Structure 1
Amino acid sequence: MATSIQGEKQYIDAFFKLTLRPTAAADLFPWLSSLTSEQRKDFVDLADSNHVVIRVFEVINRVAGHKGNADVQAWAVSVLTTERERIANALTHLKDVCEALQEADCPAVVMKTLDHWPDLGNDLDLVTTGPKNEVVRVFTQKLNAHVEARSWGDRLANKWNFALPGLRESVEAHIGRLGQTGEHKEMAQRFIDRRVNTQVHGYEFPTPAPEERIFAATLQRMYRHFYFRVCDILNAASLVESGKVKWEELRRAAEEAGIWPGVASFLNIVSEYVKQYRGSGLNLPADVLANAALGADQMYTRARFLRIPILPYGARLYTRQITHTACKGNVPATFRLSLLPPLASAAAVAFKITGSDKGVW
């Protein structure tokens, strides 16, 4: 579970101002210059939790240089250097993983991880439709990785985490299924079938099509964690503004999966945060706005992130999803989804007793 950082609300506000409205970044410099060494440490820690270290500190570095603020610029350069070294190492290993899976005829897509570019997350996510035993063999025998402990939720979702030598980040492999309970089997195949190649840092990686990128973010934020990182707002805003999203296909596939209200809500939240800092939101289709169940007004900052109230909003989305799945006659997926409430309850009890939900969630 994430722990709070003193001043986190002000820090998150600064992240948005630096990234969504960088022309006004100079206004933050009296405050940035006044941060103590401990506050600077917390600021970097929170930027890391929100996967915006590079995007935030590139602006700080640039503005500090223009203002002749040597102290703040030295801080920014130090942070950027350390983070870029981490990212370069992670990408090298990620390329090795993708090549090893491809050679073993295990089709894979790098999911979510590269959406943050030029930042990178704290684990490396993949979805693959390769046979489970073959995927595990590739990691343990070809890449010399070891399998990390799996929670009940991991087993239900058919998710495996691997630790590779020389890599700080875990590699998280979703094998043949997506969703908190592994209910989205067809969607996992869709990620593979519609994948595109993306150039990052001189490497070419298989990545999801724009519509699947939105699905991945929606499943994670609206149906699993019920919180947003700052990067989620920035990533989705950039994707929408690129003009690459096929809106009719997005809605068709989201309705088929029973997650259209969640997709619409996710995009509405993103647009409203953009509007808060830029003065105008994203150019979203009318049907997206009409089907959104909540917006930024319902969000609140706590324990490092922007939180969604599970009651009533998260519960409503879950109810709509399981009802849709049951009405389609998808018995296996309905059964999987029915296990979510007891799993969540077990995680809550474990956290209350031990201070951790590890092993459950």
Structure 2
Amino acid sequence: MDQEDRAIRLLRLLLDRTCLPGSDGEDVWRDLHALAARNGLLLRFAAQLQRENALPAHALPTVHTEQRRAEATFRLVGRVAEACVKHGVDGVFISAVQHHPDVGLDIDLLILDRSPAAGAVIASSAGLQPVGRGVGARLAVTATYESPDDAVPLDIHHGRLGAAGEHSGFPVTLLARRQRAVVEGQALFVPSDDDQLVLQGMLRVYGRRSIRLADAFHTIAAVRRCQYDWSYVVEQARETGTLPGLDCYLDYLEQLHRKIYGVRLLDATTRAALGRGGWGRIELTGGVMRFPVGRVSAHLYLRQFGTQVRRGEWSAAGRSCLIPVVGATSSARRIARRLGTAAGRETWPGRAE
């Protein structure tokens, strides 16, 4: 089974609860386990196998380790949410719970207060320690904090979004339309489903080199449930100047969906409203969705920059010019986090080789 086959099999297993490895042997289990772990899907994968009484007993230790990490992370989310209430800071967790029961490489909290002191107070109240900021974090007006337990780091975004902090209007919309959620007993605010999809188009291709299967799974599952107000999504993406990014992101998911099922993900009307598509072919290699980053990134940057210039958004346009540099530093940071959090989860437990 090659890399593409493994990715397709994992996603179909999770989307449809079908295509279980069956009698294919331990090699298949090991490959899918490692792929799920790398992409932040391990607990969902394990839960599916447990429902089918198909999870090997010797896989339990790594699953339990990941469960402890997830539990620590959701406890941290609860502490941060309580700190926001305590100090009167309005916030929304833009990436914390959408992949539940799994967790990602970090937690992202958006607050409108641009003062670093506001984030520092929240972090201190939640028992977190600051981490040194690089160039990208300073441009994006983002601060990172770490917990002494197994929880993932917390990134606090101060009134801006985007690789270089080029989006300052959409954060206001996110806060105004946020929704209350309760996850693992923790009460918090999250984006509406529609705003979460706009965020995916804004954050998953600009300055990126690949798309994790967890993001693909989440969006495909949501589209198949028909939970989006597409008129709002398209208009909001156009307003933020990131409609090309959303078009690109969903074009890649269309390709992935055809690989899995042989049919389109979006209806013709929605597809036409998003744009022309044609962003190049995806490849399922290295455990992620890869795309022609050079050509795509250049086109996205130019489209976004042109929109900002036409609107006279000079500060945003200046920040957009710096996205390639920020993307390079952010990639290094994500790789470091992945090595630190996933090294112990991607090894298939069992007999010594």
Tell me: CA distance 1:347–1:100, structure 2 relative to 1, closer, same or farther (3 Å): closer
TM (norm. structure 2) is 0.85
> Which of 12, 35, 38 in structure 2 is aligned with 1:17?
12
Counterpart contact for 1:21–1:277, Cα < 8 Å: no
Deviations 1:220-243, CA, capped at 9 Å, x for gaps: 221121311111111112222333
Counterpart contact for 1:308–1:314, Cα < 8 Å: no
> Which of 72, 87, 97 in structure 2 is aligned with 1:89?
72
SS at match of 1:115: coil
**1:278-357 equivalences in 2 (<5 Å):** 278-284=261-267, 286-289=269-272, 291-294=275-278, 298-343=281-326, 347=329
Partner of 1:260: 243
Q: Distance in 2 between matches of 1:89 and 1:225?
A: 28
Counterpart contact for 1:262–1:292, Cα < 8 Å: no
Partner of 2:154: 171
Deviations 1:120-169, CA, capped at 9 Å, x for gaps: 21211111113423323324532332211211111101111101222431
Q: Which moved more, 1:187-196 or 1:135-144?
A: 135-144
Answer yes or no: is 1:53 the counterpart of 2:37. no
Shift of 1:115: 1.1
Shift of 1:78: 3.7
SS at match of 2:116: helix
Shift of 1:90: 1.1
Counterpart contact for 2:201–2:247, Cα < 8 Å: no
Shift of 1:8: 4.8
Q: Distance in 1 between matches of 2:272 and 2:209?
A: 20
SS at match of 1:172: strand
Deviations 1:275-316, CA, capped at 9 Å, x for gaps: 322343334452434614336x61113443111211212211
Q: Distance in 1 between matches of 2:287 and 2:67?
A: 23
Answer yes or no: is 1:62 the counterpart of 2:46. no
Query: Larger relative contact order (C-alpha < 8 A, sep ≥ 6)?
Result: 2
Counterpart contact for 2:80–2:123, Cα < 8 Å: no
Shift of 1:110: 0.9
Residue 24 of structure 1 aligns with an amino acid whose one-letter code is: C
Residue 269 of structure 2 aligns with an amino acid whose one-letter code is: A
Residue 84 of structure 2 aligns with an amino acid whose one-letter code is: L
Residue 308 of structure 2 aligns with an amino acid whose one-letter code is: T
Q: Distance in 2 between matches of 1:108 and 1:32?
A: 47
Residue 278 of structure 1 aligns with an amino acid whose one-letter code is: Y
Counterpart contact for 2:110–2:159, Cα < 8 Å: yes
Q: Which moved more, 1:260-269 or 1:277-286?
A: 277-286
Counterpart contact for 1:300–1:308, Cα < 8 Å: yes
Shift of 1:97: 0.4
Tell me: CA distance 1:170–1:292, structure 2 relative to 1, closer, same or farther (3 Å): farther
**1:1-361 equivalences in 2 (<5 Å):** 8-25=3-20, 28-34=21-27, 40=30, 43-63=32-52, 65=53, 72-284=55-267, 286-289=269-272, 291-294=275-278, 298-343=281-326, 347=329
Residue 277 of structure 2 aligns with an amino acid whose one-letter code is: A
Counterpart contact for 1:8–1:46, Cα < 8 Å: no
Tell me: CA distance 1:60–1:229, structure 2 relative to 1, closer, same or farther (3 Å): same
Deviations 1:84-109, CA, capped at 9 Å, x for gaps: 22212211111110110222122111
Shift of 1:318: 1.4
SS at match of 1:225: coil
Tell me: CA distance 1:151–1:333, structure 2 relative to 1, closer, same or farther (3 Å): same
Q: Distance in 2 between matches of 1:20 and 1:287?
A: 22
Shift of 1:324: 0.5
Counterpart contact for 2:252–2:281, Cα < 8 Å: no
Tell me: CA distance 1:316–1:145, structure 2 relative to 1, closer, same or farther (3 Å): same
Deviations 1:49-88, CA, capped at 9 Å, x for gaps: 211112222223333x2xxx6xx53144444333222212
- Long gaps (5+) in structure 1: 1-5
Shift of 1:178: 0.2
Counterpart contact for 2:68–2:150, Cα < 8 Å: no
Tell me: CA distance 1:165–1:244, structure 2 relative to 1, closer, same or farther (3 Å): same
SS at match of 1:179: coil
Two-structure CA RMSD over aligned residues (Å): 2.8
Percent pairwise identity: 22
Q: Distance in 1 between matches of 2:75 and 2:296?
A: 40
